Structure 1
Amino acid sequence: MPYLKRYSLPDVQFQRQYLHKKIQQKTGYGLQVAQLLYENRKSVEDIPVEILTQYYLPKQSCPLVQYLQKRAEDKKTK
């Protein structure tokens, strides 16, 4: 019988640590998220749990980036 990996919901604390790590390492993703957080005057801790626990396919855009971009656009239109 083949080994099947069990997937569970992502741990929110782990996701926040991952974001902190990517921002500190100055990866492309980390810089993009950091810029959007700065524009929205938010921190990693302010990101809703629903956004951090969403799964997405490899070719899809990240729900976190979409959320932050939408918030930034909403602020600009006000």
Structure 2
Amino acid sequence: MRAGVSDANWQEESTPLKRRTRTTTKLDPLIFEYDTKEDAEAYDVWFRKKVPEELDDQGPDIPHEAVMDETDRIIQEAEGRQKATKG
């Protein structure tokens, strides 16, 4: 389940004392990435909204080489922290 997607289909009950409920259609974890059909649909809605926003972003372009260098640095730092904690 992706962060921020799980509660997209929750609906408030008519009385405030009742617990919030949602309908769920469980999906086979060997076939599907999401726990429920509702989670998959919520992610699809988010994704279809987010892509045009990012394509329209007027921020500066970052060269691929710069992104890869930063990614390598982050991975090396994480590996160093992991080795340090293992002793």
TM-score (norm 2): 0.30
Q: Which structure has the larger Rg over C-alpha atoms?
A: 2
- Answer 1 or 2: which has greater helix percent: 1
Normalised by the size of structure 1, how large is the TM-score?
0.32
| Structure possessing the higher relative contact order (Cα contacts under 8 Å, 6 or more residues apart) | 1
